[in-house]
Amino acid sequence: MKRILVAFSFVLPLSVLLTAETKTEFKYPAAPKSDQVDDYHGTKVADPYRPLENPDAPESRKWIEAENKLTFDFLKTIPERDAIKARLTALWDYEKFGVPFREKNRYFISKNSGLQNQNVLYVAANLSEQPRQLLDPNTLAKDGTVALGGVAVSDDAKLMAYGLATAGSDWQQWKVRDVETGKDRDDKLDWIKFSGASWKKDSSGFFYSRYDQPDEKNKLRSQVYGHKLFFHKLGTPQAQDKLIYERPDQKEWLFNAEVTDDGRYLIITVSHGTDPKNRIFYKNLDDPNSKVVELFDKADAAYDFVGNEGSVFAFKTDLNAPLGRIISVDTSKPLPPQPKELVPESADKLEAVSVVGGRFIAVYLKDAHSLVKLFKSDGAGDGEIALPGIGSAGGFTGKRGDRETFYSFASFTTPTSIFRYDFDKRESTLLFQPKVKFNPDDYTTDQVFYNSADGTRVPMFISYKKGMKRDGQNPTYLYGYGGFDISETPSFSPAILAWMEMGGIFALPNLRGGGEYGEKWHEAGEKHVKQNVFDDFISAAQYLIDNKFTSTPKLAIGGGSNGGLLVGACLTQRPDLFGAALPAVGVMDMLRFQKFTIGWAWTSDYGSSENREDFPYLYAYSPLHHFAKGCAYPATMITTADHDDRVVPAHSFKFAATLQAAQSGPAPTLIRIETKAGHGAGKPTTKIIEETADRWAFLVKALNMKTAK
């Protein structure tokens, strides 16, 4: 184990954070408490705020209401708040498009006119005509809290299965809509989570995965196990759906099914929680009595099905190639599979692969920005798709025989633009470029490299308004994630643009635990070496200070979900280093996260306190367990949502109550609890703008910013 944390006992000079005119005495609400003490392998750990794990208990509701009142009363005192919200609203008000896709003779396009709470789905016969509205989630709830969670269109483009998520929950209900008439059929499927849908080629129905019906009262916090793969025949009740595959002996396995382009096979991706290492099974759909074949059954690497030519399947994998390569397997030959290398591992991370236009489209990450290469079906190089600059590209979907594909491109100062790539002309055409009310030439992005605590070289993007002086006085928002093999790449955000307009710097380090440099980079930030992630983030902060971008009183840190854990851990380990913290929907109780909803799935990255060998590492950094009485912590505003059924709000509730009890300085330690919202996906635009305005207003005061436009 790297180290056990030592509690900090010194007092921060918080007078530099809050001027004499803005100091406020806070009387924090009394949180419900108990005498709960748990025994972890001989170590006794108190959990005094255990009652907050039940958000519906009367005492919890009273505490939630009191905390929200305290927070919003404080935010109302910040004069810049209204101006920030107005500017955010203006910046957000631009037309946005998703990456189009085509099925047979129809194009499907996602669009937002600007301030719509949810994107609207349109359909068109060609890209030059005015598209017809097919589905508008904004009509399903007045407050915009019903979101489109997934779409699957049949091969004949006549039917669309789609999922709806309410108030940010991971639970979805799926329906079927007639594309021509825009009317829903009677089909209605419930208790679907972590699943898409894939149609049979005859459009008779589709494959999907779901859980058994949960206890209605506790469905937002109870553990979920037993994913099952079904086939839904169009026009029949869900109770008659055919069970295709289940594994009662492996209750933690998750199934996602995909019908191959030729309709011959059902590819079943078997995941164990969030572990990138997975299994691949398949079923021959030409034979109704065929059994499921366990092709890759060892979970010894990540396998992503790319496409097939008859019995030969192609995969993107990191098997014996941590940065990724493309292989093929002839399934007509006896098991075990004998992989054939088509595209070898390169010096850059292979992030995604698709088969369109008879070619492999391979998206690489070169120091966390996109590079797109083409390969023939035999693996021979076939050129590149040139991108407009350093940024992130995504999309590239389609079928093997298509002569076109679509993709998006964005950077920190380039709003997401949509392109069409023509395989015959081998050129890209700009289809849509947003018109945002700002001048991108006023901003710049640097990519720097710094050394972490153990000497590891870590990249970081730094974006800011041109003309910035490196005098240590710039308000800076350092954002991070670092986990679950997820790559953080350049993207455009009106929120970050507003921050930079206000004179702020935005910094994004590519921490270990992510996927920017392949599986070794991910493994260097998980389980017993998770501390590396926090060291990388702390070192990023130190780099920004040492190089005069900012200074402690002007430095704020932020992150959500696993990034909320990151902020919580760094806040408790180095409260002297930061001027403010914004942990969002964070995993703060590392000893009990696995006991709620899908939390058990994260043990692939974190380990579990139930395992003797994992416990000391988790306990060493668990944010909830490392506050020190008598320490003056930086200004902190925790954000969570009452419908978050991925990282249940109890994490943030207990973290807030513990921080408030430990705080000895004058800086505010607040919690903002959103209602009718979840982990973040599908959150209405109005709620996003309101929450962002509150974050930036909080930082204006906490970092003593001079002005806010």
Euclidean distance between CA atoms 370 and 404, whole angstroms = 20
Query: What is the DSSP code string of 478-527?
Result: EE----TT--------HHHHHHHHTT-EEEEE--TTSSTT-HHHHHTTSG
What does DSSP say about strands 392-395 and 404-411: parallel, antiparallel, or unpaired? antiparallel
Question: What contacts 24+ positions apart, CB below 8 Å, involve 178-182?
Answer: 179/106, 179/123, 179/134, 179/153, 182/132, 182/133, 182/134, 182/135
Q: Are 148 and 162 a contacting pair, CB within 8 Å?
A: yes
Q: Are 198 and 243 a contacting pair, CB within 8 Å?
A: no
* Among 110, 487, 561, 652, the one annotated catalytic: 561
561 is catalytic: yes
Closest CA relative to residue 501, chosen from 580, 434, 415, 442: 442
* Among 232, 369, 651, 679, the one annotated catalytic: 679
Euclidean distance between CA atoms 650 and 596, whole angstroms = 10
Phi-psi region of 215 (alpha: psi -120 to 50; beta: other; left: phi over 0): beta
Bond into 336 cis (ω within 30): yes
Closest CA relative to residue 409, chosen from 468, 490, 463: 490
Euclidean distance between CA atoms 441 and 443, whole angstroms = 5
417 is catalytic: no
The residue count of the chain comes to: 709
HSE at residue 397, side-chain half, CA atoms within 13 A, is: 12
Euclidean distance between CA atoms 590 and 177, whole angstroms = 43
Backbone angles phi, psi at 527, to 5 degrees: 50, -120
* 3-class secondary structure, 650: helix
For residue 595, what are the CA distances in angstroms to 211, 221, 223, 609? 17, 9, 6, 11
Give the catalytic positions in this structure. 561, 679
